[in-house]
Structure 1
Amino acid sequence: MSFVISALYLVAALLGATFAFFELRLLTRFVRHRHEVRETVRSHRATNGRAIPSNGSTPSVTIQIPLYNERTTAEQVILAAAAQDYPSDHFDIQVLDDSTDETPLIVGQLVSRLHDQGVRIQHLRRDERAGYKAGALAEGLKHSAAGFVAIFDADFTPDPSFLRRLLLEEDAFQDPKVAFAQARWSWNESLQGFFHSAIGLLMDRHFFVQKPTKAFMGDVTAFNGSAGIWRRAAIDAVGGWSTDSLTEDLDLSYRCALSGWRGRYLQDVTVPSDLPGDMRAFKLQQHRWARGNAQCFRKLTGRVLRSKGVIRDRWEEAHLLAGYAIHPILLANLLLWPWAVVGMDRTLFIVLQIFLSVLTLVAPLSFLLALKERGDSLSIRSAVLIGGGVCLGLGLMAANTVGQIQGLLSRKGEFARTPKPPRFAAASELRHLGANRAYASPLHWTFFLELLVILYCVAGLRFLVDRGEVLWAFPLLFWALCLGMVVVLQWMATARRVPSPALP
């Protein structure tokens, strides 16, 4: 029995070390080439005065806004799209509305008003929500002849210069093999409370460190689902949007990369967006991403590993497609820990822990680099924030493990939208339609799974203490606290946004 436990724990620990190695390699490249990395993702004026080689005509673009029950945010994104400082006869707006609540009434009034003002805007409805977001985007393309497609989710508010900057002034699309240009997400929230500060840091690590470094190295740049512009020819060349994954953006990005297209990430072009309003909403979002990530891993990893000469670093891309698999690996380490402590050869166990202890510094280091890149000063608040980011990431291991298993077993799954709170006061004529009424954040059933894992940690801690292994019981206490933080934040969440305690 001890041999089986030792073997299982060794496999789980080494798999975790593999993920840490890839992250450490990325961070090393970022630190060594920081100035070159920054320059790679900085936008530049087009060298010939035009962003897109053409016959001199202004490129046409369709703005797509996919909606599903977004009464609290529909107004702000539609008005931001309509306010684009771009030749009015060269852009149009599609509101792809699959909603089943008051949203269509709100959108209908807005669209009618904007249409009367001369804005080229359509309100497109479907009989059923087939294919979820990917299905809506694909349906919208049937009604567009534009050469470019900009996509904004409901909680994004692009600056009026967005289209003009990327399509007329910058060099984003000068290379005819650029499939899309992705802007950096910024946050409407002030990032003063603990919860939003922690999840903001988790997201900023991606946009300030991981994504720029991958762009510098020539790896695949993935579209993030919103705040970007696609070249229509690239979408059509690879067969269009696919509905067999809940992360349709990742799926299309890799299919384009496998066909020789590439993406551009422009870090200094930002689009404000809303962070999830509470832990329930954040967990729902992360669970969907974990599930969709597993679906893409199952679908695309084989093609990536066989793509010699097309993908620069095939194993790096396979690791990215497996990104959320770190959560089941962490959960396996947790479940095996008490038995590995008492059953594994002690010398081997200690050597393994010394090796792993170095790799555990990777996550805090990446958060530290993200803080410095976004201009934060180092302080007690920074230390608390880094600790919060680590704990939040670990606390999601149970829920995201469920998402990973579901994604590996099935191509199906509901695109569960992230509930969003009201952010701006709606126009008076829209308030009676519910535009200011918040959505409730559902309590996902994995809440009870997290409680079970916490109880397991407590039982394991008692098990180890009773056997004199007090030192090795501390990791179980730490994991229980991380999961407990996620459980408490879910319990505190209500239909309205509740301010979280301020950081020191």
Structure 2
Amino acid sequence: MLALQVLLITVYGLCLLLLLGFSLTQWQLTRLARRVYATSPPPTPPAPAEWPLLTVQLPLYNEPFVVERLIDACAALNYPADRLHVQVLDDSTDETVALAAARVQHHAARGLHITHERRTERSGFKAGALAYGLSRSEGELVAIFDADFLPEPNFLRQTVPHFFGPDSARTGVVQTRWGHLNEDYSLLTELQAFGLNAHFFVEQVGRQAGGHFLNFNGTGGIWRRTCIADAGGWHADTLTEDLDLSYRAQLRGWHFHYLPQVAAPAELPITMDALKSQQFRWTKGAAETARKHLAQVWRSAHPLSTRLHATFHLLNSAVFVAILLMAVLSVPLLFVRALGAEQLRPVFYLASFFLLTLLPLTFYFRTAWQQAARRRPAPAGFAGQLLLFLAFSMGLSLHNSRAVLLGLLGQRSAFIRTPKLGAGASKAAGSGSWRGRRYRTSRLLGGLTLLEGLLAAYFLFGIGAGIYLHEYGLLPTHLLLATGYGLVFYYSLRHA
């Protein structure tokens, strides 16, 4: 019996150590980012004497609700007409084909060099489409926008000069920050924006300041064509082709430049199935990329600090596995602690230690919240948003842990698109309701969703058991877990 108790405590403690390591890396990135924000931003390099040939790639697959606004936005980009080529890479099998063809014809008649590219088969999914487009274009630079993005007219004028500034010959990517078209649509979109803002306002800024590996975020950025070729081109053997190519390019000595001051607005998923499909792709793809590149990162000549940051960067999705293990074990630990044996006193300290792991993350998210508030009205209540975001992230730990384990084990799966529904800035703003629209990505009422509901009940039981046993050290943890799994289960039922 004692051996089992010690095993529970050991596994729980190791999970907490992993969470603490992740939190401390985010804390260091926050310190680096705050130094950047404390200084004046460097001036934008002057426009090049001759604007380079540039291809804008728009990878599409069944996007009838957003395809027209995307093409119109990219047709309005302010760039010399004789140097610009817009490629609509359309793998669609529905009315998106006709909608795209009509907008392409409209803008071509007005003098824009725009082409509608169709493949005979959707091999390689998005990576395959991007590679196919490269074979049919001559652009020295390649901008990429997913279907849910709406770049501002001056996007290219703000970004292209950074490829021609001082010491920029090895600049392979210029990445911009994602904006949010529908952040205020619902609690679901507000929590997504809260998490993404931390990545774009803090993590990417800190990585650049520390000279660490950055990642192209799949869209809202520009590649140098020779960088893509030198790194081996687009590969379709992971679900995050952007992260994969980013690491291959930087391991080849290319540099990435991140511009937090330039935003590329995009639509956030508004339904739980869309969010889960996106989370599955991101977390599984990151694990696949770690499996593919982590050994090479450690064999590289990069500084130890950069290799450590790269390790946490590539394995950050493994945090969900640690959270899930910690969560499941936390209820039995209540009864272990209630036995009252002196040698089991560390349980109490481990429970308190969990709260200490959240302190660096608080610093991290607070910095992002402050930076975001400068660009839009500050949301009411940082503490409330942080607690809800942490709870919601914990509630996704079962779903994301499955994706991580599949990725680490090398099990292949199809590229599941994230539905874009053309949502307005708020429910009142409209642009149509998601209800009744097609292209739902999964059966929300499957076995995994039922398990999420059971886990919500399990942690409610943990709250009650802790109060009954007068063991309050794990009460904050169980409150967050019950809230998070309850939210995920609720939205899964509501959007089913």
Q: How far apart are residue 133 of structure 1 and its match?
A: 0.7
Q: How far apart are residue 295 of structure 1 and its match?
A: 0.5
Match for residue 480 of structure 1 among 474, 482, 485: 482
Gaps of 5+ in 1: 426-430, 495-504
Q: How far apart are residue 402 of structure 1 and its match?
A: 1.0
State the match for 2:267 in structure 1.
274
**Amino acid paired to 1:452:** L
State yes or no: 1:439 paired with 2:438: yes
Distance 1:97-1:458 versus aligned 2 partners, 3 A rule:
same
Which has the larger displacement, 97-106 or 372-381? 372-381
TM-score normalised by L of structure 1: 0.87
Q: CA offsets, 1:381-420, max 9 Å, x none?
A: 3332222211111111011011111212235212111112
Q: CA offsets, 1:153-210, max 9 Å, x none?
A: 0011111111222224786685111110001111112526422221111110111111
Match for residue 452 of structure 1 among 447, 451, 454: 454
Counting aligned pairs with the same residue, the percent is 32
TM-score normalised by L of structure 2: 0.89
Q: What is the DSSP-based 3-state SS (H/G/I as helix, E as strand, rest coil) of the residue aligned with 2:284? A: helix
State yes or no: 1:354 paired with 2:352: yes
Distance 1:26-1:461 versus aligned 2 partners, 3 A rule:
closer
State the match for 2:73 in structure 1.
80
- Asked if the contact 1:179–1:262 (Cα under 8 Å) also holds between the matched residues in 2, the reply is yes
Q: Distance in 1 between matches of 2:75 and 2:436?
A: 24
Distance 1:144-1:458 versus aligned 2 partners, 3 A rule:
same
Q: How far apart are residue 87 of structure 1 and its match?
A: 1.0
- Asked if the contact 1:108–1:123 (Cα under 8 Å) also holds between the matched residues in 2, the reply is yes
Distance 1:172-1:355 versus aligned 2 partners, 3 A rule:
farther
Match for residue 130 of structure 2 among 137, 140, 157: 137
Q: How far apart are residue 37 of structure 1 and its match?
A: 4.9
State the match for 1:223 in structure 2.
216
State the match for 1:405 in structure 2.
405
Q: How far apart are residue 17 of structure 1 and its match?
A: 2.6
Pairing of 1:298-447 with structure 2 (within 5 A): 298-309=291-302, 313-343=306-336, 345-375=343-373, 381-410=381-410, 412-423=412-423, 438-439=437-438, 441=440, 442-444=442-444, 445=446, 446-447=448-449
State the match for 2:285 in structure 1.
292
Q: CA offsets, 1:106-128, max 9 Å, x none?
A: 11111112121111111111222
Which has the larger displacement, 232-241 or 2-11? 2-11
Q: CA offsets, 1:82-119, max 9 Å, x none?
A: 11111111110111111111111111111112121111
State yes or no: 1:254 paired with 2:242: no
Q: Distance in 2 between matches of 1:97 and 1:126?
A: 8
Q: How far apart are residue 13 of structure 1 and its match?
A: 2.9
State yes or no: 1:158 paired with 2:151: yes
**Amino acid paired to 2:143:** A
Pairing of 1:92-131 with structure 2 (within 5 A): 92-131=85-124
**Amino acid paired to 2:484:** C
Q: CA offsets, 1:451-489, max 9 Å, x none?
A: 232243345556666656465456334312210011112
State the match for 2:340 in structure 1.
none
Q: Distance in 2 between matches of 1:143 and 1:379?
A: 45
State yes or no: 1:45 paired with 2:44: yes
State the match for 2:6 in structure 1.
6
Q: Distance in 2 between matches of 1:39 and 1:263?
A: 21
Which has the larger displacement, 310-319 or 327-336? 310-319
Q: Distance in 2 between matches of 1:163 and 1:379?
A: 30
Distance 1:259-1:250 versus aligned 2 partners, 3 A rule:
same
Q: What is the DSSP-based 3-state SS (H/G/I as helix, E as strand, rest coil) of the residue aligned with 2:174? A: strand
Pairing of 1:199-218 with structure 2 (within 5 A): 199-218=192-211
Q: Distance in 1 between matches of 2:156 and 2:242?
A: 20
- Asked if the contact 2:183–2:193 (Cα under 8 Å) also holds between the matched residues in 1, the reply is no
Q: What is the DSSP-based 3-state SS (H/G/I as helix, E as strand, rest coil) of the residue aligned with 1:313? A: helix
Which has the larger displacement, 111-120 or 133-142? 111-120
- Asked if the contact 1:73–1:423 (Cα under 8 Å) also holds between the matched residues in 2, the reply is no
Q: Distance in 2 between matches of 1:482 and 1:157?
A: 31
Q: Distance in 2 between matches of 1:136 and 1:461?
A: 50
